[in-house]
Amino acid sequence: MYDVLVVGGSYAGIAAALQLARARRKVAVIDAGNRRNRFASAAHGFLSRDGHTPDLIARQARRQLLAYPSVDWIEDTVSRCSGSLDAFEATTTRGEVFRGRRLILATGVNDELPEVPGLAALWGRKVFHCPYCHGYELERGSIGVLAAGEMAFHHAVVVSEWGPTTLFANGVFQPDLEQQGVFGQRGIAIEPARLAGVQDTGAGISVELETGGTVELAGLFVQARTSPACPIAEQLGCNIEESPMGTHVGTNGTQETSVPGVFAAGDTARAAGNLTFAVSDGAMAGAGAHRSLIFPPV
Ligand SMILES: Cc1cc2nc3c(=O)[nH]c(=O)nc-3n(C[C@H](O)[C@H](O)[C@H](O)COP(=O)(O)OP(=O)(O)OC[C@H]3O[C@@H](n4cnc5c(N)ncnc54)[C@H](O)[C@@H]3O)c2cc1C
């Protein structure tokens, strides 16, 4: 019996386990190894690691965590979790069963990308969702924003801080008069035609329009819709919340979900995430789970 089972061993999961390891608690981290940013060659904006590879950051963090003897690391996928306070079980796809008194879900999200030929292959290299993570490296070149719905207005206005911006309405977004006024003030161009495909040009990305033309860009931003990467929180009956970006697991101030003893941290538990927030949430979930072992809920 572990004190805490941590499902997901990326930034949030390692940060959670570290707090518990330092409290000398027995922790199992079960990780499938598919970090959300595995498509990107560099991670930006994370203090003291700006520009490092996502893999290096995770490997160093894991090595430091595993120096604590009360931590076990299991490379596997959890297919099912069940149980309740003081008696949770996690079953993996290899058929192993782990038992723990508390459960932390740090399982990340899936990104649902717009269906444009060639787009998925450029995800994390020329196609991004977050300008804070990858806008700077576009060197103030021409930027595209591909509309997926009403969030396109907000996204295009924010992205235009990083360079001259074209909003591709792609048949799913029609700005109203007020929005057109804002686009005008900010110099944001609107391209109404649907996209036929995108291609890597080496230096940037070429957007092919169904009307026949092409637009050359340094990079393209999309509003990827996110949802929890695995169904465990739903299986356990945790509240799932909606946001304009998709769905995520609802938590309170200590990252505890609506199910006592189940905590959630990182992207899976917030509307929009990054490494810094994932580590912060993870540290809070670790401390929250630890407190709940000391002061059990009544
Ligand atoms: C293309 C791209 C580029 C990005 N660039 C940046 C950047 O430059 N800077 C930045 O701050 N943020 C960046 N982000 C965001 C960043 O990747 C996430 O915020 C961060 O990875 C969230 O960490 P996490 O630990 O919550 O989840 P993740 O890193 O996604 O990790 C979740 C882990 O849980 C595991 N898992 C899931 N389900 C199970 C299961 N059932 N059993 C066992 N394990 C499971 C997964 O395999 C994975 O290892 C980027 C995102 C993308 C998509």
Place of tokens 């990252």: 255
Ligand 1 centroid to Cα of residue 58, in Å, is 10
Q: How many CB atoms lie within 10 A of CB 67?
A: 8
Domain region containing 92: 2-111+225-294
Q: Which of 187, 222, 257 lies at the terminal end of a domain, its last residue?
A: 222
In ligand 1, the atom with minimum distance to the C-alpha of 43 is 8
| Mean pLDDT of the chain, nearest integer | 97
pLDDT in tens, 61-104: 999 999 999 999 999 999 999 999 999 999 999 999 999 999 99
Give the C-alpha distances (Å, rounded to integers) separating 129 from 17, 96, 173.
28, 36, 17
Instruction: Give yes or no: residues 233 and 92 share one domain.
Output: yes
Residue range 96-127, pLDDT digits in tens: 999 999 999 999 999 999 999 999 999 999 99
Q: In this structure, are 75 and 206 located in the same domain?
A: no
Considering Cα of 251, then 253, then 256, then 258, what sign does the dihedral take?
negative
Distance 135 CA to ligand 1 centre (A): 19
With CA atoms as reference, report the closest residue to 100 among 232, 5, 235, 7.
5
Query: Residue 297's pLDDT is what?
Result: 81
Q: How far apart are the first and last CA of the chain?
A: 21
Q: Is 280 in the pocket of ligand 1 (CB under 6 A)?
A: no
Shared domain check, 215 and 85: no
Per-residue model confidence (pLDDT) at position 133: 96
- Is the same domain home to 31 and 101? yes
Neighbours of 184 (CB within 10 A): 11
Same domain, 179 and 193: yes
Q: Which of 198, 222, 246 is the last residue of a domain?
A: 222
Q: pLDDT of 238-295, one tens digit each?
A: 999 999 999 999 999 999 999 999 999 999 999 999 999 999 999 999 999 999 999 9
The closest-lying atom of ligand 1 relative to the alpha carbon of residue 79 is 41
CATH code, domain carrying 290? 3.50.50.60
Cα-to-centroid distance, 168 and ligand 1 (Å): 27
Does residue 133 line the site of ligand 1, with CB under 6 A?
yes
What integer is the mean pLDDT of 176-181?
Answer: 97
Taking the centre of ligand 1 as the mean of its atom positions, its distance from the CA of residue 10, in whole angstroms, is: 7
Looking at the fold, whether 212 and 244 belong to one and the same domain comes out as no
Residue 267, helix vs strand vs coil: helix
Give the containing element (helix H, strand E) for 110: strand 109-112
My answer on whether 62 and 6 are in the same domain is yes
SS3 content of the chain, % helix, strand, coil (to 5): 30, 30, 40
Mean pLDDT of 8-23: 98
pLDDT in tens, 184-234: 999 999 999 999 999 999 999 999 999 999 999 999 999 999 999 999 999
Indicate if ligand 1 lies below 6 Å from the C-beta of 267.
yes
Identify the bridge partners of residue 198 per DSSP, sorted by sequence position: 207
Query: Looking at the structure, do residues 260 and 241 belong to the same domain, yes or no?
Result: yes
Atom of ligand 1 nearest to the CA of 267: 26
Strands 205-209 vs 78-84: parallel, antiparallel or unpaired: unpaired
- Distance from Cα 151 to the centre of ligand 1, integer Å: 22
**What contacts 24+ positions apart, CB below 8 Å, involve 192-197?**
193/168, 194/170, 195/116, 195/146, 195/168, 195/170, 196/117, 197/116, 197/117, 197/118, 197/119
169 and 211, same domain (yes or no): yes
Assess contact for 145 and 166: CB atoms under 8 A.
Answer: yes
pLDDT of amino acid 234 = 96
Atom of ligand 1 nearest to the CA of 11: 25
Nearest CA to ligand 1 atom 4: 37
Task: Provide the number of structural domains found in the chain.
Answer: 2
Tell me, yes or no, whether 68 and 144 share the same domain. Answer: no
Whose C-alpha lies nearest to ligand 1, atom 1? Answer: 124
Cβ contact 116:199 at 8 Å: no
Q: How far is the CA of 109 from the centre of ligand 1 (A)?
A: 7
216/239 same-domain check: no
Of 169, 192, 222, the last residue of a domain is: 222
- Give distance in angstroms: CA of 63 to centre of ligand 1: 18
Q: Taking 90 as the threshold, does the pLDDT of residue 296 lie above it?
A: no
Same domain, 201 and 250: no
Q: Which residue has the tokens 């890597």?
A: 200
